[in-house]
Amino acid sequence: MVVMDSTFVGIMLHPKAKIPDDPATQKPVSRVPDRIQKLLQDLTTEQERIVIPTPALTEFLVLAGKDANQYLSEIHSMRSIWVRPFDEMAAVELAAIECLARETGNKRHPVGGDRPWQKVKVDRQIVAIAKGIGAKRIYSDDPDIKKFAEKEGIKVIACWELTLPPSNTPLLDDLEDESPE
C-alpha cells in the first residue's frame, strides 16, 4: 500500500490542479500529468493499493468546494483507492510519535517551533495512518510530512521526484524547457 496526500489526490483527479514548484528550479514541475499517469500505471503494475488518509481527503474536499461530492463519488468508484480513517491503530501510532517528540522538549519536533500546531497534528495523523496500515511510501510535496514520515521509516516521494515517461515529442519538450517566461 502507498499513501497519497491532498496535493497528489488533487493532481490525480483534477486536471487544472495547482502544480507545485520544483525546489531546485523554483518553477512549476514539468509534465505533471504525465508523471502522475506513469505513477498510476506503475502502481497498477505493482498491484499497489492507493490509500487516502481521511485528514488528506478533508483537505482535498475543502479545496474541491462545491464539486466535493462529485470527486468523492469518483474516489469511491476507483477500485484501487482506499480511504482510511484515523482509527485505533493510527491513534496508537500517533501517541508514540507525539511522546517521542515531546521527549525532545519540542512537541513539533522534527519540523521546528514555527509551524502551526494544527498543521503539525494533521501531518502527523497522515503519517500515523500510513504507519498503521504498513504503507511503503507516501506521495507528498509537503516537507513537514517528509520529515515526520522519514523519522518513522516511511519513504516520501515528491511530485518533482516522479519518473517521467518517455516523451512522444522529445524535440518539442526541449524547446518547452527553454521558452522564456
Please compute the mean of the pLDDT values over residues 59-81 and round it to a whole number. Answer: 93
Instruction: Name the 3-class secondary structure at 107.
Output: coil
Q: Which residues pair with 175 in a beta bridge?
A: none
Alpha carbons 28 and 19: distance in angstroms, whole number: 6
Question: Please, which pLDDT band fits residue 66 given cuts at 50, 70 and 90?
Answer: very high
181 has a pLDDT exceeding 80: no
Residue-range domains of the chain with CATH: 2-171 (3.40.50.1010)
Q: Which of 1-5, 42-46, 81-85, 169-173 has the lowest mean pLDDT?
A: 169-173
Alpha carbons 101 and 148: distance in angstroms, whole number: 10
Please compute the mean of the pLDDT values over residues 72-87 and round it to a whole number. Answer: 94
User: Is pLDDT larger for residue 11 or for residue 112?
Assistant: 11
Which of 176, 181, 178, 180 has the alpha carbon at shortest distance from 31? 176
Exposed / middle / buried, residue 57 (Cβ in 10 Å: 0-12, 13-18, 19+): buried
pTM: predicted TM-score of the whole model, two decimal places:
0.87
